Amino acid sequence: MLRAGLYARVSTNDQQTLAMQNRTMREYATRRGWTIAMQVREVNSGAAKREARERILEAARRREIDLVLVWRLDRWGRSVTDLLATLQELEHLGVGFVSLTEALDLTTPSGRAMAGLLAIFAEFEREILRERTRAGSAHARQNGKRLGRPATAALHAPEIRKLHRAGVSKSEIARRIQIGRTFVRRILGTKS
């Protein structure tokens, strides 16, 4: 008998569907003859850290469950890339994955074929993101924006040395130039 871990998630403004997700997944697991080894619920936005999802993944890593059952794919993954990464981890662990709404069952050959298609879409999503990043960087450069890390205290090295030769203390140099004393000491090559 397979041990199922049930994962339900709703956003903070959609809490009424949580009970429906749980009831539907419990009924499905019963029909399939699975034992419900754990059931976790999460209420948060998609961007928040998903601690309950991590608990179910930890149970999979400890071999406490044989499959993960979710109501819908978008309840499990934050993006196609995130979805694929977790599905690959579950597959590596020998833990099945079933999404009820999409009738996606990765314990079957057709389900694993669907996971292959997800991998293609994840790569497509990554490539689109790369292209957008490159285009945004090129646009910013064309408009005269400086990219990368902000200028460091090293740009102030000549002024720091000049003030130091004039007898100004390191603390006072740091205050005047508005940089940290550590940077002043580093530029001057001293430890105190």
Blockwise average pLDDT, block size 10, the chain, 192 residues: 92 73 93 94 73 93 95 81 85 91 81 75 80 88 81 80 93 89 85 59
- Which one is catalytic: 11, 45, 99, 169? 11
| CA dihedral for 11, 124, 100, 90, sign (positive or negative) | negative
For residue 97, the cross-strand partners are 68
Give pLDDT, residue 23: 92
Give pLDDT, residue 124: 80
Q: Is 11 marked active-site?
A: yes
Give pLDDT, residue 13: 61
CA gap 72, 20 in Å, rounded:
12
Q: Cα-flanking dihedrals φ and ψ of residue 62, to 5°? A: -85, 0
Q: Are strands 35-43 and 3-10 parallel, antiparallel or unpaired?
A: parallel
Specify burial of residue 41 (Cβ count, 10 A radius: 0-12, 13-18, 19+).
middle
Give pLDDT, residue 162: 94
Q: Scan for tokens 């149970």, then name that residue.
A: 59
CA gap 64, 59 in Å, rounded:
5
Give pLDDT, residue 25: 94
Give pLDDT, residue 45: 62
Edge to edge, the sheet with strand 35-43 lists 35-43, 3-10, 67-70, 96-99, 104-105
